[in-house]
Structure 1
Amino acid sequence: MSKEVFILGAGFSYPAKLPLQTKLLDEIFEDKDFKYLEHYESIEKFIEQFFQTHYDLEDIFTVLDRAYLSEEHFSNYKWLDIYEVRKSLIFLIINILDKKLISIEEYRDIYQEFIEYICSNHQDIAVISLNWDTLVEKLIKRYCQNKMIDYCFYTYGIETDHISHINLKASGKENLKIVKIHGSINWLYCPNCQRVVVDDIAIESIAKEELVCPYCKQYSDLEISLENFIITPTILKKFDNLHLKYIWNNAFIEIQEAEKVTFIGYSLPKADYEFMYLLKKVMANKSIRVILAQSDSGSEVEKRYRSLFGDVEFCFDGFEKCF
């Protein structure tokens, strides 16, 4: 079998009732979790002060990330205030994704054929996901228990018997590549030793927990808090982290070596210009298939695909009917 790459956007997770980015804020505030009331109050106060009736997640993160990355004040918000507001928003997004992932058993049959296909051809297939959620990993655990998820970079585990993902194949394990170029809710990063700790057993959102780096504690007796390892939906994405560079390089190589590339539920948002740049570098002479919703037919999304890649095979009946 020739190599095949699947590129997953938010539309892949939509049949499992995970919210699209355009609906994330609505879902967060509709499903208010009073255990985390201080996070809601922080975000509501920020939005009320700086935005009018129309705004979206990208607008909010662009303001927060601009101030955060520049380490400067924004109006009456000091840099540390911006850091806390941004942290609260990420926390609430992770919280709503975590809640939705609990109920995927109701929808798992929708994905069975796809998951069994990629598992049975795992040596010739890679999955590149732009999603933070762990839906595809949980489905692999459900249907393909003999396959080990391979995030394609050097990882550390919260379990003592963890095998770094980059060493899975060399260790004789059957690895299935899941390249997550925007990070994941089950990854945490230590700002001191720069290790990335992952949960690839339960695949839970450890980014919600207040965890201390076990390695800095063990070797340096330091209490360093681990931080989430996700790229926010903004035009100011920052990819200079060493692990992200390695992940992106793996995404490049997997697409470069593929004969067929299938996009599932990915709308080519303009904020993802770095990924579009990568695609333009490697998509020549590929067989390209795009699976989108009916509402995307004749839309700007379709036009962007045709503009970028020319000859593209489309299916506008959604993932459930197109795969």
Structure 2
Amino acid sequence: MQIGRDVVFVFGAGASYADGAPLQADILPIIMSNEFPDIQQSPTGQIVTEFIAENFAWDARAKIYPTLETVFGFLDYFISQDEHLSARYSHARIRVIKEGLIKLIHYVISEKSHRQGTTYRSFWEAVFRYNPNIAILTLNYDTLLEDAYSSLCPGGAVNIDYGIHLMNYDLNEEKRPPNRISPAAMKILKGHGSLNWKYCHCCKQVLLTPRDTKINLYAGHTGEGRCVSNKYRCPVDASEFETLIIPPSHIKKISHPVISQILGEAMREIRSCRKVVFVGYSFPDADVHFKALFKKSLSPHQQVIVVNNSKSRTLKYNYLALSNHVRFIKLSFADFLMDRSLVQEILTTTGSPNAPAPVSMPLYHPVHT
């Protein structure tokens, strides 16, 4: 029996921008600026910024920088070909630089995000008011969406289904970390990973660390330039955890077992829903895997709605390539949420009249205090 949602929301960087999360294009300029002294002073920051300074050109006054896709693509070339760039930049050192750049992205997003942002809170209030029969696929690393949900719902992270098994479910009282969680109802699928997911490369399990998205750029520095955090070790095999995020690159490792599971779950949700609503997502060239996912999953009867205030004609045609039933709403996420009648219509009105009705399913209803 197929279970269907009324709406599947797809969140891109524009959805989190209103609550302070930086856009992808802004992250590298922040890393190369003097905004955060820890980046310039830490071993991780130094090895990454020196590599970028020696191998790329930019103009800060003209605001011209290489993209993160370009930098990661350059690093991935040498990693995939098992080549050295030079005597200074061996294959092993390039791997370290890539790890460091991922950590800097983690640091910047965590530092720039506003934990008390109101946009996602308004979104959840609308969902609870009109129709909680939804699922979410977010391509953002930040935890603003979950933080807002937790602030409104008793139990917080306990009531989120990430579509993957979390080792928090299994740990006994002696081994468990704070904030032990249990499986629950509101489905949030994070297609590029999350700042609060710690992955063990030995047992291949994920530990959820609710509310803990910080990273120490000074921790565990080694002579090779590698910087690892010893804050969390796997309780099963004592291996060091790594934050599970898929960096923006034209060579994305979507074969990662956790990411593959999430994308499979996303396909099932999309195929069985009435409508898909994209918010603040521009379909960048590096996300060709998501274009493929939606192209395979969407059917002609499903309605596609795009909430985006961009004036780009390319964005329009990116969506028209997916479906003939696309409705464009040229508003920012925050302005969209202020239009209650529009939000109610999208959450409660069915899609195409020819769409088959989804099978009813139990819903999670938060208790408001």
TM category (shorter chain) comes to 0.7 to 0.9
Q: Does 1:306 align with 2:320?
A: yes
Q: Please give the residue correspondences for 1:134-213 in structure 2 after superposition, counting only pairs within 5 Å.
A: 134-146=143-155, 148-157=159-168, 159=177, 162-163=180-181, 168=183, 173=184, 175-200=185-210, 202-205=211-214, 209-210=229-230, 211-213=232-234
User: 1:80 — aligned with what?
Assistant: 92
Q: Please give the residue correspondences for 1:1-323 in structure 2 after superposition, counting only pairs within 5 Å.
A: 3-30=6-33, 31-34=35-38, 36-53=41-58, 54-76=65-87, 77-101=89-113, 103-105=114-116, 107-108=117-118, 110-119=119-128, 124-146=133-155, 148-157=159-168, 159=177, 162-163=180-181, 168=183, 173=184, 175-200=185-210, 202-205=211-214, 209-210=229-230, 211-217=232-238, 224-284=239-299, 285-293=301-309, 296-323=310-337
Q: Which has the larger displacement, 177-186 or 153-162?
A: 153-162
Q: Deviations over 1:86-134 (max 9, x none)?
A: 1211111111111123x331x32x3333112334677621110001111
User: 1:221 — aligned with what?
Assistant: none
Q: Which has the larger displacement, 14-23 or 207-216?
A: 207-216
Number of aligned positions between the proteins: 303
Distance apart, 1:255 and its partner CA:
0.6
Q: Deviations over 1:16-47 (max 9, x none)?
A: 12110011111233322337532222122111
For residues 244 and 235 of structure 2, the distance between their equivalents in structure 1, rounded to whole angstroms, comes to 17
3-state SS of the aligned residue for 2:262? helix
For residues 135 and 247 of structure 1, the distance between their equivalents in structure 2, rounded to whole angstroms, comes to 19
TM-score, length of structure 1 as denominator length: 0.86
For residues 125 and 305 of structure 2, the distance between their equivalents in structure 1, rounded to whole angstroms, comes to 19
3-state SS of the aligned residue for 2:165? coil
3-state SS of the aligned residue for 1:204? coil
Give the counterpart letter for 2:32 in structure 1. Answer: F
Distance apart, 1:70 and its partner CA:
4.2
For residues 121 and 162 of structure 1, the distance between their equivalents in structure 2, rounded to whole angstroms, comes to 30
Distance apart, 1:319 and its partner CA:
0.6
- Judging by fraction of residues, say which structure has more helix: 1
Q: Which has the higher Rg, Structure 1 or Structure 2?
A: 2
Q: Does the 8 Å contact 2:68/2:248 carry over to 1?
A: yes
For residues 192 and 298 of structure 1, the distance between their equivalents in structure 2, rounded to whole angstroms, comes to 44
Distance apart, 1:317 and its partner CA:
1.8
Q: Deviations over 1:176-214 (max 9, x none)?
A: 1110111111111111111111113x2534697423212
Q: Deviations over 1:36-70 (max 9, x none)?
A: 53222212211122212351111001111232344
3-state SS of the aligned residue for 1:132? coil
Give the counterpart letter for 1:300 in structure 2. Answer: T
* Runs of 5+ unmatched residues, structure 1: 218-223
1:307/1:233 Cα in 2 relative to 1: closer, same or farther (>3 Å)?
A: same
Q: Deviations over 1:223-266 (max 9, x none)?
A: x2112211110110012222222111101001111111100000
Q: How large is the RMSD of aligned CA atoms in angstroms?
A: 2.3
For residues 214 and 71 of structure 1, the distance between their equivalents in structure 2, rounded to whole angstroms, comes to 33
Q: Which has the larger displacement, 203-212 or 130-139?
A: 203-212
* Runs of 5+ unmatched residues, structure 2: 59-64, 169-175, 218-228, 338-369
Q: Which runs of 4+ in 1 moved over 6 A?
A: none
TM-score, length of structure 2 as denominator length: 0.76
For residues 90 and 43 of structure 1, the distance between their equivalents in structure 2, rounded to whole angstroms, comes to 10
